Amino acid sequence: MNPGEIYIGGKLRPVVRLNFPSVDSKRVYERYPYDIKVLDAANNPIGSLTLRVNIPDSWNGTVRNVARVSEINIDAPYVGKGFGKATYLEILKFLGDMPLQSGSINDNSIGIWESLVRDGLAEREYTQDEGGEKQVRYISRPDIVKVKLIGQEQTE
């Protein structure tokens, strides 16, 4: 294991850190959006993201507050090496009880979300749009995140 890697969910992952603006992290749900820098294990910037929290959402008749990554950029040398997923895992840990929901997604983020589904940390939701077309989006499972990610860190 390299100094820039850690076991999370039983798998070796690159280490990333989220550098939030100077806001008390205990007040996460009081302000949005957050413009966050993504750092590697040596605290070098490798990307950025915008996290929107406390968004009211209605899906299939259920109303809940969710968070969404509205934009994520990982620098080219780090793409395809697990840093995107490692970033999502850090976001999930940060959010605690608030689910992370996919917004508009591209091929890279679909890959990350499908990986989260395979790991049991997220699930697909299906509905139909007004034209009858099947729609899919993803949502994290905070209950599972607590057990698989946060609980594991506390026991290691």
Report yes or no on 1 lying in a domain: no
- How many angstroms separate the Cα of 119 from the Cα of each of 9, 14, 83, 149? 8, 16, 16, 11
Q: What is the reported pLDDT for 22? A: 61
CATH, residue 70: 3.40.630.30
Report yes or no on 120 lying in a domain: yes
Residue 68 has pLDDT above 90, yes or no: no
pLDDT in tens, 105-142: 788 789 999 999 999 999 998 877 788 888 888 999 99
For every residue of 102-136, DSSP letters joined together read: --S--HHHHHHHHHHHHTTSEEEEEEE-TTS-EEE
Q: Note the pTM of the prediction, 2 decimals.
A: 0.78
Report yes or no on 2 lying in a domain: no
Mean pLDDT for the chain? 78
Report yes or no on 80 lying in a domain: yes
3-state DSSP call for residue 57?
strand
pLDDT in tens, 8-37: 455 556 778 787 766 554 454 455 677 889
Number of domains into which the chain is organized: 1
Report yes or no on 18 lying in a domain: yes
Residue 67 has pLDDT above 80, yes or no: yes
Residue 74 has pLDDT above 70, yes or no: yes
Give 10 or 77, the one with higher predicted confidence: 77
Q: What is the reported pLDDT for 155? A: 45
Report yes or no on 6 lying in a domain: no
Segments forming the whole domain that contains residue 58: 11-155
127: its two tokens: 């509905």
Q: What is the reported pLDDT for 92? A: 92
Report yes or no on 5 lying in a domain: no
Q: What is the reported pLDDT for 15? A: 76
Report yes or no on 4 lying in a domain: no
